[in-house]
Amino acid sequence: MPKTSSKNEQPENEQNTTLVGWARQSQAGGALKISLHQDAIGNCHTYTTADGTEYVPLVISIAALRRVLEGQQTVTTVSQFSEN
């Protein structure tokens, strides 16, 4: 199926992001599999919550994820917005 994009997705895709991994549907179709590159995660910026827990904020395009779940594409990216 040809790749399509809508005008609504364009601003998100123009953001500076760092690729850290991939998301795909499991072969059985009952789960979303996320593979993250260990070195890329280690280089990501983090934030800390009030209780001292540290998190890495990542993003997946909802539109691209829907296409994966609907079988229109096999994989989509997991990224982090770059801090400028």
Residue 65 included in any domain:
yes
pLDDT tens digits for 40-81?
A: 999 999 999 999 999 999 999 999 999 999 999 999 999 999
Residue 4 included in any domain:
no
Residue 73 included in any domain:
yes
Distances (CA, A) of 70 to 18, 42, 64: 25, 32, 10
Q: Which domain holds residue 38?
A: 14-81
Are 30 and 75 in contact by the 8 Å Cβ rule? The answer is no
Residue 47 included in any domain:
yes
Would you place residue 11 in the very low, low, confident or very high pLDDT band (cuts 50, 70, 90)? very low
Tell me how many domains the chain contains: 1
Residue 9 included in any domain:
no
Residue 50 included in any domain:
yes
pLDDT tens digits for 12-34?
A: 555 799 999 999 999 988 999 99
Residue 5 included in any domain:
no
